[in-house]
Amino acid sequence: MKVRFYIFIFLALVVCVNSFAQDKLFLRSGEKINCRIISVNLKTIDFKDSTASSYLLSIEKGDVLMAEFKNGDVYIFGNENSKSNTPKTKYDRELDKKAMIREKERSFKDNIFGFQPIDIAWGRLTFTYERLFMDKRMGVVIPFSLTYDPRVLIPNSSSDTIVNTREKVRHNTGLITGFDLNYYYETKSHTKFFFGPRFRYGQDVNLSNITAYTVQFQQGFLLCDSKGKMATTVAFGFGFARIISTPFSSAYNSKQSYPWASFTLRIGIRK
Per residue in 158-200, pLDDT (tens digit) is: 555 444 445 678 878 999 999 999 999 866 567 889 999 999 9
Candidate ranges 167-176, 196-205, 241-250; pick with highest mean pLDDT: 196-205
Q: One-letter amino acid identity for 145?
A: S
Q: One-letter amino acid identity for 166?
A: R
* Neighbouring residues of 78: CB distance < 8 A, sequence distance ≥ 6: 84, 86
CA distance 57 to 27: 15
Specify whether the CB–CB gap between 265 and 234 falls below 8 A. yes
**pLDDT score recorded for residue 200:** 97
122-149 pLDDT per residue, tens: 999 999 999 998 878 899 999 999 999 9
**Positive/negative CA dihedral, 82, 87, 91, 97:** positive
**pLDDT score recorded for residue 163:** 47
Domain 111-270 has CATH 3.30.360: no
* Neighbouring residues of 67: CB distance < 8 A, sequence distance ≥ 6: 23, 24, 25, 26, 37, 40, 45, 74, 75, 77
What Å distances lie between residue 78 and 35, 63, 69, 87, 103, CA to CA? Answer: 21, 10, 17, 12, 20
Give this prediction's pTM: 0.64
Domain ranges of the chain: 23-105, 111-270
